[in-house]
Chains A and B, each alone.
Chain A
Amino acid sequence: MTQISNVTATSNYYASGKLPGYMTGILLLLSLVISWGFFTFFRPADPEYTVNLAVLIVVAVIVFGLIQYVASRVVEGPRKAVDRTVTLLVTLAFVVAMIPLLSLLYTVVTLGAARFDLDFFTLSMRNVVGAGGGAAHAMMGTVIMTLLAAVISVPVGLLTSIYLVEYGDGKRLARSITFFVDVMTGIPSIVAGLFAYSLFSLILGPGTRVGIAGAAALSVLMIPIVVRSSEEMLRLVPNELREASYALGVPKWLTIVKVVLPTALAGITTGVMLSIARVMGETAPLLIAAGFTNDFNFNPFSDRMQSLPNFVYYSYVAQGSVPEAYLDRAWAGALALILIVMVLNLLARLITNVFAPKYGR
């Protein structure tokens, strides 16, 4: 019986000259032990010295990489050894990138929960010096300015993408619009804020900070996103649909409104929601163009307007007499902001997954 199993083990051609699968686990364990041993036996004389878990793991990973390389090189040859090392590095890159994400989500949820209460969503910061108060005025401002920005950006962006796809085809104007829209995606958000501020200062006098200026700054950032995403969606609409409509004698504009747009509607909605989620978190342009206030302001055409990101910013930068209260509010604001943005993102993805055309790969 033993003889037979021996024969099958050695005669497995495909498995010979390779490290067995369980070896990775064994090497990993071994390197953890080595790292732990290193820090236990070669610790500094300082009696208060404690081993940092993060450092221990980092050393263990380095040791693992070395052992694996050597073992693989001996058994499998240098090419396979390099391959294994690269696999380790690539996986590590992903793990390293997840650390800040997890740390950030964990802190925001744990620290934000302290003030994530009813007051936070119903009260403003008017006459609040210490604890208490809320961010209702900031949320109101964010909603007003984002909606205004959407009202400006969505028609402009959608019409532009219609022009690019349905009318522009190969024209010089269309090509330059495509190029400059791409360039516009890269405008620093603070520059958009400075632009809106300059514009409204020239119209309404220097030093003007109003909600509509904030909305204008946000639209500068939002328009290119809407154009890009809806252009992509409109291009996905099959040409046969347009031709069938023309063949029935439907004019071009009606074809676009009744055939092309409804077909691409899901994708366009997704793009708009993603762009809203994107500009909702913008702080710098609103800081410049809309200023900040502790009070409710429902009129975007006069006086300063607070926004949720700016609420977080000012709670952090200008911590008043009771810093903990301000920091608690900042974290609660961050939590609310992340929740809103995540919900918008998830909804957008849901719409795409349910309605969008399917691709290969």
Chain B
Amino acid sequence: MAQSAESLPGAPKARQRPADRIFAGSSRGAGILILATLAAVSAFLLIEGFPALTTPPEEISILEEQSFIVYVTPLVFGTLWAAALALLMAFPISIGIALFISHYAPRKIAVGLGYAVDLLAAVPSVVYGLWGGVILAPGIRPLYMWLEENLGFIPLFAGPTSGTGRTILTAAIVLAVMVLPIITAVSREVFLQTPRLYEEAALALGATRWEMIRSVVLPVGRGGIISAAMLGLGRALGETLAVAMVLSATGIITVNLISSTNPSTIAANVALSFPEASGLNVNVLIASGLILFAITLVVNSIARWVINLRKDFSGAN
């Protein structure tokens, strides 16, 4: 933006001073360093994760004589399953909150309510884990028992209900609370950017508030809503401590939400196994981390791509 004047034809070129070169060079170097860091993250994970794939599984104690694929499949399933459950719960509520703050709450308190939601984002994940394990898990057990009694015919609630309440559903609820503020923040921004004139035109045509939102606010913000959900998904996939502290995992694949046998997630498994791991076990865990990295990279890239599409075509700015 500052260079437009210099690029005019015939404009005098500014003299390049050594300090200028150093400053430009170092700021550019910092940018390249970031790209290099990202490349290094992938490179180091590849280097350290590779031995886990090439070494025969008999020599790695953590695999228990199975192949790496067999070891990691339940973890990948658990990661995706927990994140999907969390998103399923958090998404509608976040959209509701974002609408509440942007279009329903009185303008004077809306900003304060926005801060309250942002506070949720500021709470460290270890505190969520502590809360989920000590307060939520025992507190929500009656609900699981009710679900087993009345909806037990659905495989999701087949039970038997876990005695501690530390199931994948509890973990997903904690995850949902954690991704809520992220989805809310992004979609709130998007809703606030809806052109005022469209909204007023809809209201002037006699639309109720909901009809106005359905016909103007949601279509205009669709791209933003999708990417908000993807960002939330990315966060839920990578969240470690909240799952590690809440879930009591057994490493099997099941869709049963309330029993005491649950699939673990990649991140939680790494956190729980890493402190005691040594030798090739470390490489196995790093390789599983690489898979998690790849999954989140894909999800986040899609989210950013959708956001950028929106930026180019949106009439809001």
Contact = CB atoms under 8 A, between A and B. Distances in A.
A179 interface: yes
A86 B34 contact: no
A93 B5 CA distance: 51
A316 B130 contact: yes
B245 A281 contact: no
B121 to A, nearest CB: 9
30 contacts: A80-B208, A86-B209, A87-B210, A89-B96, A94-B96, A97-B177, A98-B116, A100-B131, A104-B123, A169-B1, A169-B2, A173-B31, A183-B297, A184-B34, A186-B296, A186-B297, A187-B293, A190-B289, A191-B45, A191-B292, A195-B40, A201-B48, A220-B41, A252-B20, A253-B19, A257-B23, A283-B126, A288-B270, A337-B126, A345-B119
A243 B6 CA distance: 11
Contacts of A291: 275
Contacts of B211: 79, 83
Interface string A307-344: 00110110011000000000100110010011001100
A218 interface: no
A163 B308 CA distance: 20
A169 B26 CA distance: 16
B224 interface: no
Contacts of B17: 251, 253
Contacts of B150: none
B100 interface: yes
B44 to A, nearest CB: 4
Interface of B: 1-3, 5, 14, 17, 19-20, 22-24, 26-35, 37-38, 40-41, 44-45, 47-48, 92-97, 99-101, 104-105, 113, 115-120, 122-131, 133-136, 142, 177, 180, 184, 192, 208-211, 213, 231, 234-235, 237-241, 245, 267, 270-271, 274-275, 278, 282, 285-286, 289, 292-293, 296-297, 299-301, 303-304, 308
A93 B35 contact: no
Given A284-B240, A345-B119, A83 B208 contact: yes
* 4 smallest beta-carbon distances between A and B, as pairs: A188-B238, A281-B124, A93-B96, A186-B300
A118 B44 CA distance: 43
Contacts of B5: 243, 246
Contacts of A338: 123-124, 127
Given A97-B94, A186-B300, 14 more contacts: A94-B100, A104-B131, A107-B131, A169-B1, A186-B234, A187-B296, A191-B41, A191-B296, A197-B286, A198-B48, A224-B34, A252-B24, A287-B271, A342-B119
A189 B125 CA distance: 11
B131 A206 contact: no
Contacts, number: 289
Contacts of B38: 180, 183-184
Nearest to B293: A191
Interface stretch (A8-16, A35-43, A154-162, A295-303): A154-162
Given A93-B93, A97-B120, A194 B289 contact: yes
B20 A94 contact: no
